[in-house]
Amino acid sequence: MSFIPGQPVTAVVQRIEIHKLREREHLILGFSIGGGIDQDPMQNPYSEDKTDKGIYVTKVTPGGPAEAAGLKMGDKIMQVNGWDMTMVTHDQARKRLTKKNEDVVRLLMTRKSLEEAVKCSMGGYANR
């Protein structure tokens, strides 16, 4: 999840599709985000690298659509519906997630355990 400035970011990502839930006149996804390039990355409890200004999932509403789709607390969101989320402000991230004309949000997210799982399995292949 850490990045080297100037190099392309590589990560093992998981695709998650969340269907928005209509609650009165709002469409909600059921999670909270934190982070952004205008925010203080040192206060992010989920990031491995404290200079990472990406968007992270800080809370997942129990029983909400995000939880049903498999989103977990601490996940870093890399893309939302094709839009990049690694270099956006907090407000831009919010806007991309809450577009009124979209019912479904397809996001690419990553987490540490994914990387490790892949490494383990790759390591198994490398030994062969």
28 binds another protein (CB under 8 A): yes
Q: Output 67 or 115, the one with its CB closest to another protein.
A: 67
48 binds another protein (CB under 8 A): no
Q: Write phi, then psi, for 31 (nearest 5 degrees).
A: -150, 165
Q: Is the dihedral of CA 60, 62, 68, 72 positive or negative?
A: positive
Nearest distance from residue 24's CB to another protein, in Å? 15
| CA–CA gap between residue 81 and residue 104 (Å, rounded) | 9
Structure tokens at 53: 């200004």
Figure out which of the listed residues 81, 86, 92, 98 binds another protein, where binding follows CB under 8 A: 98
Q: Of the ranges 3-11, 25-33, 46-54, 120-128, which one interacts with another protein (CB under 8 A)?
A: 25-33
